[in-house]
Structure 1
Amino acid sequence: MLQPQLSNVESNHNGSNPPQEYANGNSYGDASRSTSVDIQQELDRLEEMVLSSLRIPLTGRTLIDEEKLLDQLDFIRLSLPSVFQEAAAILEQKDEILLQAEEYGQQVVEAAQAKRAQILTESDIVRQAEQEAEQLRRQVQQECEAIMQETLTEIDRKRHACQQELEEMRQTAIAQAQEIEDGADGYADGVLGNIEQDLQEMLRIITNGRQQLRGDSSVQRHSPPGKRR
């Protein structure tokens, strides 16, 4: 086996060094127990080993450490069963995962439908509440207008009644004033009539007295002298 001196060869495998472990006598079964081996990363390391090995000038050939190459291949070969087991387990769980996804999707659909029904119900409730509020507003507005119209009618009726009552009171006051005025005129006429009667009686007495005085004077002038006193 050729043992050329290799440069820049790295052999880290997730913090372990499989070729050294194999050299120390560790069994290949230890690698098979790993459940987190990245096969792509190990293949990249294998490619790096080939590319970083010593090339023979003018031949296009490369000198590779056979032991390290075989150790890497053995590590990959032993890692494959665990990877296959993981892939098989994933495939076995595929139906269950799909069923769970379907159940979850069905739950999401049912929740969405329930939410939609709830929103529609709430929308119907809101719409019904808005309609009832609008109907109540119109009813209150109609009642207010009716009360206002009734109030205006009552005010107009009372205004007419007050005007009529005031007119009746004015007519009554005028009649009473006319009656008082007529009474005063009658009283004054009566007083003046009485005074006129008294004056006429006095004038009659005065006239009679004067006539008597005139009669006595005429008798004395025509009587004989001896009979004069």
Structure 2
Amino acid sequence: MDVFEILDEMEDIIESSSRIPLTGKAVVDAEELLDCIDQIRSVLPEEIRQARWIAKERERMLADAQQEAEQTIRKTQAQIEQMALESEIMKIAEQKAQELLARAKAMETEMREGATAYADQILEQLEQNLNKALASIREGRNELQGMKVNAG
């Protein structure tokens, strides 16, 4: 089960519970809700592991983009050197090499920005999901605390 399924289960428990007339309060089985909270606690480490994996994947993507860009730059520089050896086309070689170098650098920047944006989007989505889960947990705990106060 993921966090949201467990939260749905908690919501069902609360919605299907007996109501105290005129108070808007519900009588719920604390053991059921505590069991759901325990399930959430066991699932959250997986969510956190996924967030870490996403961060590592982002780093890997950035490293791959960097490596590919560096390889492209090395190839371009090798082409520049080869072209420079041919004196009659030296000016043309310089111009072509600069264009290739500029394209390689632009490609590196684009790949880095794309990888960063993708990783940020995934992390933002995960952060929102975790925040929703935590808000639901707090709400459930607050309701339980309210029941304790009313019962005592």
TM-score computed with the length of structure 2 as normaliser? 0.41
Greater helix percent: which structure? 2
TM-score computed with the length of structure 1 as normaliser? 0.28
Q: With a CA cutoff of 8 Å and minimum separation of 6, indicate the structure with the bigger relative contact order.
A: 2
**For the pair shown, which has the larger CA radius of gyration, 1 or 2?**
1
